[in-house]
Structure 1
Amino acid sequence: MKKILGYFSITILSIIILAVIAGGSIFAFYASQAPELSQEKLQATSSSLIYDKDQNLIADLGTEKRELVTSDSIPIGLVNAVVSIEDHRFFQHRGIDIYRILGSIWHNLTNDTTQGGSTLDQQLIKLAYFSTAESDRTIKRKLQEIWLALQLERQFTKEEILTFYINKVYMGNGNYGMRTASKSYFGKDLTELSIPQLALLAGIPQAPSQYDPYTQPELATKRRDTVLSQMYRHKYISKEEYNTALSTPITDGLQTLKPATSFPKYFDNYLTEVISEVHEKTGLDIFSAGLKVYTNVDSAAQEHLHDIYNTDTYVAYPDEEFQVASTVMDVTNGHVIAQLGVRNQQEDITFGTNQAVLTDRDWGSTMKPITDFAPALENEVYTSTAQNLNDSIYYWPNTKTQIYNWDRQYYGWMTMQTAIMQSRNIPAVRALEATGLKKASDFLAGLGITYPELYYSNAISSSTSSNDQQYGASSEKMAAAYAAFANGGIYYEPQYVNKIVFSDGSNKTYEAKSNRAMKETTAYMMTDMLKTVLYYGTGTRAQIYGLNQAGKTGTSNYTDEELATINETLGLNNWNVGLMAPDENFVGYTPQYSMAVWTGYKNRLTPVYGSGLDIATDVYREMMTYLTGGYNEDWTMPDGLYRSGNYLYLSNATQNYNYYYETTTASSTTSSTEQSENTSNPESSLQESTSQIQNHFEATTENGN
C-alpha cells in the first residue's frame, strides 16, 4: 500500500512539475513575442485621423483636446480616488495582484456577473498596446499583458505609472486625460477640484458615455458615489467628508461644454457612428489609439444633405424646431455615404444624439412593403402584383376591433399594386394575416429589423413595446432594408468604416456583412409596384422626371387622448388643420442609392400638419436629384417572371395564384361584422389576445399613407 501511495505521489508531483514547466515555457514563448515597453508609447496619447471615401482627411480626433499633467501636479485626492476604484493595492503589488485575480475568479464562479482581475498597471498596458475587443481576450494576450505589467514596474516608479494612466484614459466628450476633462467640465485644474469632483473624474474611464455627467447624470452620480464609498472604505476620506460629498449634486461646478472640434459640424452625426463602429470592431478608443480610419462617407453628399436641412434654398420648413433624420446608402455594397440625424444642431454639442439610428419613432406605412407584401410574395402566398385584395370593413385578427384606412373609406376589390400605390391599410393587414406572423418576422430579420414579438398592428407600423434600440426601425435600418429591393434581394448591414490602419502600421480591411434576404423575383415585383407610388400614388411629390426610382410614404397616428391634449395645449383640431401626425416618412431608392427620411418634432405631441407633411418627400427628392443628376438606368427583369399588361406574374405559379384568389374571394365575404367573431387564424403561428392588440395598435398608424 505504501509503495502504491509512493508511486501515486511521484506521479502527481511529476504532473505538477511538467505542468509548471509547460506553463512556464508557454509564458516565456508569448512573453518573447510581446512588444517592447516604450515611454513614448505609454506617455503619448495619439489622435486618430479620419478619412472620407476618397481618402481625404476629414477629422483629426484628439489633437484639439489634449493637456498632459506631470506627477507633481496630481492632487493626492485624485490619486486616492483612482486607486480606490481601480486598484486599491496598487502601491503594494509589483504589477499583478494575485489576491485580486483569485477574488475575481471566485466572484465569476459564484455570481452571474463577471469581474476583472486587472491591476492599474495592466489597464495601462491595455490602453497603450492592446485591443480591448472581446475577440482579442486570448491567453496569449493576457500573458503578454502580465509580462509587460511586470516589466513596467521594473522600469518606472509608481508615480510615473499612475501619471501615464491619468494622462491616457478617455474621459468622454472628446477629452482624453483627466486634466483635459477637469478644464473642460469644471473650467479648473485638477488641484482646484473638490472631493466629489475628483471622484466623478476617477469613475468616468470605465464607461465614458455611460457616466457622462451631462447626458447621463443619474448613472454618473451612482458611479461617483461608488468611488466615494471605496475612498471611505479604504480610509482616504472621513465620514463627514463622505457624507458631504454624497449630498453634492453631480452638476456642482459643471460648466457648459464649449465646442472644440477639428471637423465641420455636418460630420458630427456620421462620426458618432464611426466611433462606435471602430470600438465594435477593435475595442479601441478612437481618441487615443492613433488610428487611421477610412470611412464610406461622401463628403460632398454629406455637406449637401446638411445644406438641405439647414438652409431655405431647397426645402421650406415650418419653423426652426422641425426635425429631420435620414440615411443614404449605396445599395450595391451597404456603404453609408451620408447620414444626418438633426437640424440646427447646437454649437456646443459634439457627438450628440443621432436620430438617424434611433428606433423610437414610428415609420408608419413604409413598413407595409417589408412586413406584409414582400413576405407574401417571397412565400408565394401571393404570386402576382395583380393579386386581388378586398379593401372592405375588416377587424384586427382575433379581435372585435375594427381596422380603418387613413381616409376612413373603403374602396372594395383592388390589386395588390393598387393597394400599395394608395397605401390602403386593410389589404396590408390581410397580406400579413395570410402570410403568417412567423414567416413575416423571419423575413424582416433577414433585412436587419427585429421585434421582441411581431403583432398584426406591425402590418402598418414599426411601433414596438421595447425601448431597446435593437428592435424596430430607424432611417438607417429602413435605408438598408429597401436597398435589398434595389439590388435584387441582397441585404447589406449598414457600414461606415472600410479600413483601419493601426498605430503599429498593421491594417485591416472590412466589408459589409450580407445575406440573401429574398429572391430576385420578389425584389423586382416589389420595385415594380413601388414605382407606381411615385408615379400615381401617395408619393408623387418625390418623383424626379427621367429618373427610375421606387419608394413608399409613411405617416404615424395620434391616439384620441393625444389629439385631445394637442387641442388643449396648441388649440389645433383635425377639422381645421386637416391631417396631423407625429411622424411623416419617406423611403425611396434607385438602382444605385437608397434613402430613408424621418420628419417630426422631438416632442411627438407637437404635430406635423399642412405643408410639413410634404417635407420628407421634399428632402428625399432634393438629395436624390443631387446624387443622380436626374438620370439613371432602369432595373432589368430577372428570369422567373412575365409581364401581362401592367402586372407581373411568377412564371411557374399560375395554379398557385388561381387557388389563392379563389380562397381569398370566398373567405372575404365574412369580412363584415360577423368576422369579428372569428378568433382563429390557421396561417399564423402566433396569436394575439384582444387586449394585446388593443394596447399595441392604439399607438400605430391609422393614417397609413
Structure 2
Amino acid sequence: MNIKELSKRLPPWTKRLKWPGIVIISLTLLALISFLVIIFGGRFVVDEEDLILDEMTTVETEEGEVIERIYTKNRKVVPISSIPEHVQDAFIAIEDGRFREHSGVDFKGIMRAVYKDIIAMKKVEGASTITQQLAKNLFLSNDKTWMRKTKEVMAAIYLERNYTKDEILELYLNRIYFGEGTYGIEAASQHYFQQSVDELSVAQGALLAAMPKAPNTYSPFENPEAAEQRRNIVLSRMYDVGSISAEVMKRMQGSTLAVERAEESADTWSNSYVDLVIDEAAEEYHISRDELKRGGYRIVVEMDPTIQRIAAEEMKNGEFVPGTKGPVEGAFTLMEHDSGALVAVVGGRDFKHGDFNRVKAQRPPASVIKPLAVYGPAMMSGEYDPFSLLSDEQQVFGKKDWKPSNHDDQYDGQVSMYQALIESKNVSAVWLLDKIGIDYAKDYLDKLGLTTDDKGLAIALGGLSEGYTPFQLAEAYGTFPQGGTKKDSYTIRQIFDRHDEVIHEHEVNETEVFDAQTSWYMTEMLRTTVEEGTAKAGTYNKALAGKTGTNQNLDVWFTGYTPQYAGALWMGYDRTGNEGAELEGSSVYPTRLMKSILTRIDQQKNLQTAFEKPEGVESLPEPVDLPVITNARGDLDLTGLALLRGTISWSAPKDERIVYRIFREEDGEDVKVGEVTGKGEFKVSAFSIFDQTKYYIVPYDPLTGKEGRPSNTVTLEWDL
C-alpha cells in the first residue's frame, strides 16, 4: 500500500486539518529555530575584541607618583576583587536586583515592569539586566528597534554562557560612564572622592551607583540635591534586598555627599618630559601614541619631579632672558651621567602639549664642541696634554683661505691647551684640529653620538651644517665625569601592560670614548673654565665643570656637569636669519640660568661640593702664571776669600715651580749663565770692579715650556 492509497482511506476530517497542521508545525519549527538562534546566536553578535576596554596609560615615577595620564577615555580598569562588596551590592540593588539569579534576561523582571507600566499608563520601570546593559554598551547602537533588542538579548545570553557573574559585573563596572569624561568605577572614585575604589564607603558607593542612569542629571557637582535623592533611593534598594541594615541605611542617608573636586591646574611643568616619553615609547618600544591612549599601560620614568618643577619654573624667569628683539626660546635637559637617566626636560620657556619640543631640535653647538672634537681627541693621541703649547696667531687655514679670529680679537702668539680652553681661543682650536686631523677627530665624535657629514676645520668651532640636540651634548659631556664612558640618555625605566606585567625594561647602552686620565684632565680644565674663564657668569657654590658656546649670537649654550648630573641649556630663536634676530649678552644668560637651576636643586638635594679624582690618574697641576719682572737689581760684595761676587735679585712670586733663567749680554749675543727655581736671587762671579756687563732674567714655565717676558737689565754695582 502506497502513500496515495493510504491518504484515500483517511477520514474526511483529517483533510480539513492539513493546512492548519502545516502552519502549526511551521510556527513550531520557526519558534524552535528562533529560540536556538537567540540561545546560540550570540556569538555572531559579540566581538571579543570589544571586551577589552580602552584604558588610560599612566606615566609615573619609581615611587608611584602619577605625573600625567594619557587617554581617549579616562578609565582605569580594576579587578572585581578590588571593588568592595558594598559597592557591588549598590549597583546590583539599583540596576538589577536578580543579577545573581537570572541567565542574562530576567523574565520575571520583564513581567513586573510591564505590569507596572500598564498600571501607571506610562513607562516607569526598565527591565534590562546588568548583562543586557553591558551587551548594549559594548556591541550595539542605541537604536530603539526590535532587531537591536533581539541582538541585545542574544549577546546577553552569550555573555552569561561564557563568563562568570563576577566577570560580567567587573566588565560592567569598568565600562559605565559616570559623567565629566570619567569612565569606570576607579576613575569615578578618583574623580569624585580623590580616593581609590577600595576605599569607598557605603554612602560613596551608593552615590556612584546612582549616577549611570543619568550622569549629568545626578552629578554631585552640578546637581547635588538630585544626586543626594538618587543616592538615598539606592540605599533604600540596598536595604530592600538585604545588603545593609535599616540602621546603616538611615545613617548613610543622613550623611553629606562628601565629594571633592580636584583642583584644576593649568601648570604644564611636566608636559615636555611626557612628550618625550611618548616619543621614546614609539621609537624604542614601538608603542604608538594611539595605543598609549587606550592600552592601559603603566610607564615608570626617571623624572625627578622636584628637579623638573624647578627647571620649568626657572625657564620662565625673565631675568635670564637676553635683551633681544622678539620672543627668545630655550631648551634644557639634565641627566644622571652614571646611568643616562633623564631627570628633567624642558622643551620651551612655556611649553605645553602640542608645542614644538625644542630639546629635540638640532642647533649649532658653537664652542661647546671644542672639548669633544678637539681637546679630548688631542690628549687621547698621546702627543698633547693640558700644558702643550698651541698656536694663537691669526693665520690662514685650508685651501679656501679661511682666517678665523678669536672672540675678543686678541692673540698671544702661543698658549697652553689649558689657557686656550678656559679663554675659548678659536684660532688655537682650529690650529690643533688641523694638526690631529679631521677624520681622527670625527672618529671620536661618532663614538660620542655626534655624527656629522661636515669635513672642514670649522668643526672645531661648532660651525656645522646640522647641529646637535641638548640631549646629545648632555650625553657627550657626561662622558668626562664617567671616566670616558658615554651612557645613552633615556626617560623610560619600565613599561607594564594592563595586567601589570613588565613588557619592556631599559637596558644601559654605553660606549668607551676617552680614557680616565683624559677625562680627569678635562674635568679639571672645565671646572676652571666655570670658576675663572668664559663660564664664570652667575653663581653656583658647588662643584661644576662646563663650557659656553655662542653661534654668532643666534644660538647660545651652556653645557656642563656636576658630580651627579650632566646638562645642556640652549637659548635662541625658533627661526633665525631674520633681521635683528641676534641675542644680546651672548652665553652669559644660559650660564647664569644653569647655575640658578643648580642652586635651587642643591637647596633640595644637597649636591656634592667637589669632583672625586678616580684612582690611578694624575692630578692636573695648577697652571704657572709667569711674572713680569720689572724690579731686578745687581749688587757686588766680597766673599770670605776677598773675591768679588755679584748678586742679581728680584721679587719672585710664591709659585716655587717657576724657573728663572739668567742671561748676560756679551759681544752682541745673549748668553745663558745659569738658572734657579723658585728663588728671587742668583749669584754671579765678577772679576773686575769695572765690569759693566748687563744681565736680565727670563721666567720659564716648566709645564708648558713657555718663556715669559725678559726683565729689566741690570749691571753689578756696589751697594753703598
TM-score by length of 2: 0.51
Deviation of 1:299 (Å): 0.8
Distance in 2, Cα, partners of 1:401 & 1:481: 28
CA deviations 1:79-114 (Å, max 9, x no partner) are xxxxxxxxxxxxxxxxxxxxxxxxxxxxxxxxxxxx
Distance in 2, Cα, partners of 1:73 & 1:538: 70
Which one of 517, 524, 527 corresponds to residue 523 of structure 2?
527
Corresponding position: 1:594 with 2:589: no
Corresponding position: 1:614 with 2:588: yes
CA deviations 1:557-579 (Å, max 9, x no partner) are 2xxxxxxxxxxxxxxxxxxxxxx
Distance in 1, Cα, partners of 2:613 & 2:303: 28
Deviation of 1:278 (Å): 1.3
Distance in 2, Cα, partners of 1:586 & 1:503: 42
What secondary structure, in the 3-state scheme, does the structure 2 residue paired with 1:332 have? Answer: coil
Distance in 1, Cα, partners of 2:294 & 2:535: 47
Aligned residues: 399
What amino acid sits opposite 1:55 in the alignment? Answer: G
State whether residues 563 and 611 of structure 2, in contact with CA within 8 Å, keep that contact through their aligned partners in structure 1: yes
Corresponding position: 1:639 with 2:616: yes
| CA 600–455 in structure 1, closer or farther in 2 if over 3 Å, else same | same
Q: Indicate the residue corresponding to 2:276 in structure 1.
A: 273
| CA 283–610 in structure 1, closer or farther in 2 if over 3 Å, else same | closer
> Which structure has more helix as a fraction of its residues?
1
Which one of 354, 357, 363 corresponds to residue 357 of structure 2?
354
Which one of 36, 56, 70 corresponds to residue 47 of structure 1?
56
| CA 48–642 in structure 1, closer or farther in 2 if over 3 Å, else same | closer
Q: Indicate the residue corresponding to 1:582 in structure 2.
A: 554
Which one of 372, 379, 382 corresponds to residue 381 of structure 2?
379
Q: Indicate the residue corresponding to 2:439 in structure 1.
A: 438
Deviation of 1:352 (Å): 2.4
| CA 412–637 in structure 1, closer or farther in 2 if over 3 Å, else same | farther
Distance in 2, Cα, partners of 1:379 & 1:41: 64
- Cα RMSD over matched residues? 3.4
State whether residues 462 and 473 of structure 1, in contact with CA within 8 Å, keep that contact through their aligned partners in structure 2: no
Corresponding position: 1:510 with 2:506: yes
CA deviations 1:166-224 (Å, max 9, x no partner) are xxxxxxxx9xxxxxxxxxxxxxxxxxxxxxxxxxxxxxxxxxxxxxxxxxxxxxxxxxx
Q: Which range moves more in the overlay, 263-272 or 317-326?
A: 317-326
Deviation of 1:624 (Å): 1.2
State whether residues 534 and 550 of structure 1, in contact with CA within 8 Å, keep that contact through their aligned partners in structure 2: yes
Distance in 1, Cα, partners of 2:554 & 2:59: 36
State whether residues 364 and 462 of structure 1, in contact with CA within 8 Å, keep that contact through their aligned partners in structure 2: yes
Corresponding position: 1:628 with 2:602: yes
| CA 387–61 in structure 1, closer or farther in 2 if over 3 Å, else same | same
State whether residues 386 and 415 of structure 1, in contact with CA within 8 Å, keep that contact through their aligned partners in structure 2: yes
Deviation of 1:297 (Å): 0.7
1:548-563 matched pairs, under 5 angstroms:
548-557=543-552
Percent of aligned positions with the same letter in both sequences? 22
Q: Indicate the residue corresponding to 1:477 in structure 2.
A: 472
Deviation of 1:40 (Å): 5.8
| CA 70–404 in structure 1, closer or farther in 2 if over 3 Å, else same | farther
State whether residues 60 and 263 of structure 1, in contact with CA within 8 Å, keep that contact through their aligned partners in structure 2: no
State whether residues 53 and 298 of structure 1, in contact with CA within 8 Å, keep that contact through their aligned partners in structure 2: no
Distance in 2, Cα, partners of 1:50 & 1:264: 17
State whether residues 494 and 506 of structure 2, in contact with CA within 8 Å, keep that contact through their aligned partners in structure 1: yes
Distance in 2, Cα, partners of 1:612 & 1:457: 20
Report which structure shows greater RCO (CA 8 Å, sep ≥6): 1
| CA 452–288 in structure 1, closer or farther in 2 if over 3 Å, else same | farther
Distance in 2, Cα, partners of 1:522 & 1:305: 31
Q: Indicate the residue corresponding to 2:534 in structure 1.
A: 538
Q: Indicate the residue corresponding to 2:157 in structure 1.
A: none
State whether residues 524 and 620 of structure 2, in contact with CA within 8 Å, keep that contact through their aligned partners in structure 1: no
State whether residues 487 and 591 of structure 1, in contact with CA within 8 Å, keep that contact through their aligned partners in structure 2: no
Which one of 480, 487, 503 corresponds to residue 482 of structure 2?
487
Unmatched segments (≥5 aa) in structure 2: 1-45, 76-136, 144-161, 163-180, 182-263, 625-700, 708-720
1:256-335 matched pairs, under 5 angstroms:
264-284=267-287, 285-312=291-318, 315=320, 318=323, 321-335=327-341
Distance in 2, Cα, partners of 1:273 & 1:431: 38
Distance in 1, Cα, partners of 2:48 & 2:267: 34
Distance in 2, Cα, partners of 1:372 & 1:409: 21
| CA 42–430 in structure 1, closer or farther in 2 if over 3 Å, else same | farther
Deviation of 1:315 (Å): 3.4
State whether residues 326 and 341 of structure 1, in contact with CA within 8 Å, keep that contact through their aligned partners in structure 2: yes
| CA 455–543 in structure 1, closer or farther in 2 if over 3 Å, else same | farther
Corresponding position: 1:501 with 2:490: no
Unmatched segments (≥5 aa) in structure 1: 1-36, 75-154, 156-173, 175-260, 466-471, 558-580, 648-657, 666-705
Distance in 1, Cα, partners of 2:317 & 2:402: 45
Greater Cα radius of gyration, structure 1 or 2: 2
Deviation of 1:621 (Å): 0.4
Q: Which range moves more in the overlay, 349-358 or 266-275?
A: 349-358
Q: Indicate the residue corresponding to 2:133 in structure 1.
A: none
Which one of 339, 345, 350 corresponds to residue 339 of structure 1?
345
Deviation of 1:429 (Å): 1.0
State whether residues 56 and 74 of structure 2, in contact with CA within 8 Å, keep that contact through their aligned partners in structure 1: no
Q: Indicate the residue corresponding to 1:62 in structure 2.
A: 71
TM-score by length of 1: 0.52
What secondary structure, in the 3-state scheme, does the structure 1 residue paired with 2:475 have? Answer: helix
Distance in 2, Cα, partners of 1:307 & 1:596: 16
Deviation of 1:646 (Å): 3.1
CA deviations 1:509-557 (Å, max 9, x no partner) are 2133112121111111111111121121111114523x12111010002
| CA 645–551 in structure 1, closer or farther in 2 if over 3 Å, else same | closer
1:656-667 matched pairs, under 5 angstroms:
none
Deviation of 1:611 (Å): 4.1
> Which structure has more strand as a fraction of its residues?
2
Deviation of 1:638 (Å): 4.0
| CA 444–268 in structure 1, closer or farther in 2 if over 3 Å, else same | same
| CA 431–317 in structure 1, closer or farther in 2 if over 3 Å, else same | closer
State whether residues 73 and 294 of structure 2, in contact with CA within 8 Å, keep that contact through their aligned partners in structure 1: no
| CA 426–286 in structure 1, closer or farther in 2 if over 3 Å, else same | same
Deviation of 1:335 (Å): 0.5
